[in-house]
Copies of this chain bind each other. A is one copy, B any other.
Amino acid sequence: MVTSTRRKSTSIRKEIAAFKRQRILEVASELFARHGYESTTLDEVAARIEVTKPFIYSYYSNKGELLREICERGIRLSTAALEAALAEPASPTEQLHEIVRAVGRIIVDNRDYISVYQAEEKNLTTEDARKIRALRHEFDLRLTELLEKGRSSGEFDIQHAQRSALWIGGLLTWIASWYHEGGKWSAEEIIEDAVYTVNKIVMPRRG
């Protein structure tokens, strides 16, 4: 009974700790995206959640760790969505559409994480940068494979699968630079336009 109580309480403790880490990350990504990584002080991040700087230091060992987790998030979510779409039994065309739609959604919903990664990659340690670039490479690789599969089946007409994958990845990433809530266009509109545009990039002229 004693042990069970203890276990229960340590488990909820962990959940609370995870929640706090998450909250810090959320606020930090927002401020880093708006004012830049270097120009944002941890005092400002702390003030936003109505705590003080040492609070942050009890959940993250330094400012760089915060940046690493922010940068990792966007690419991890995107890769997961891509893998999920590839796991579905569907044609390359359908899979590609689903990837653009799902990743587009993730980029819209997590634009702060994405733009921080784009802008602040230079502020990562060499090791962190290497690790995250490997994740990104994985994404490009899987996308390249899909494009090549679609070319073999005759569904896609592309000159160079690897570079096409880069254009498509760039197009998706680009959304984070200009989409903003309450802007001229809705997220849905933009995502559908992205699907349409990617489709035109890969589709044969006469089809």
Residues of A within 8 A of B (CB): 34-39, 118-120, 122-123, 159-160, 163-164, 166-167, 170-171, 173-174, 177-178, 185, 190, 193-194, 196-197, 200-201, 203, 205-207
- Beta-carbon contact of B163 and A193 below 8 Å: yes
Kindly list chain B residues whose C-beta atoms are within 8 Å of the C-beta of A190: 163
- Beta-carbon contact of B159 and A170 below 8 Å: no
- Beta-carbon contact of B206 and A159 below 8 Å: no
Q: How far is the CA of A185 from the CA of B166 in the complex (A)?
A: 13
- Beta-carbon contact of A36 and B206 below 8 Å: no
Q: Which of B38, B164, B196, B203 contacts A197 (CB 8 A)?
A: B164
Most buried by B among A34, A123, A166, A200: A200
Q: Which of B120, B160, B167 contacts A174 (CB 8 A)?
A: B167
State the main secondary structure of chain A at its contact with B. Answer: helix
- Beta-carbon contact of B159 and A193 below 8 Å: yes
Shortest distance between the CB of A82 and any CB in chain B (Å): 19
Q: How far is the CA of A163 from the CA of B192 in the complex (A)?
A: 11
- Beta-carbon contact of B166 and A170 below 8 Å: no
Kindly list chain B residues whose C-beta atoms are within 8 Å of the C-beta of A170: 170-171, 174, 177-178
Kindly list chain B residues whose C-beta atoms are within 8 Å of the C-beta of A122: 34-36, 39, 119
Shortest distance between the CB of A45 and any CB in chain B (Å): 16
Shortest distance between the CB of A190 and any CB in chain B (Å): 7
- Beta-carbon contact of B167 and A171 below 8 Å: yes
| Subset of 8 A-B contacts with CB under 8 Å | A36-B38, A36-B120, A37-B38, A119-B119, A166-B174, A170-B171, A170-B178, A205-B206
Q: Which of B160, B178, B197 contacts A201 (CB 8 A)?
A: B197
Q: How far is the CA of A167 from the CA of B167 in the complex (A)?
A: 10
Kindly list chain B residues whose C-beta atoms are within 8 Å of the C-beta of A194: 167
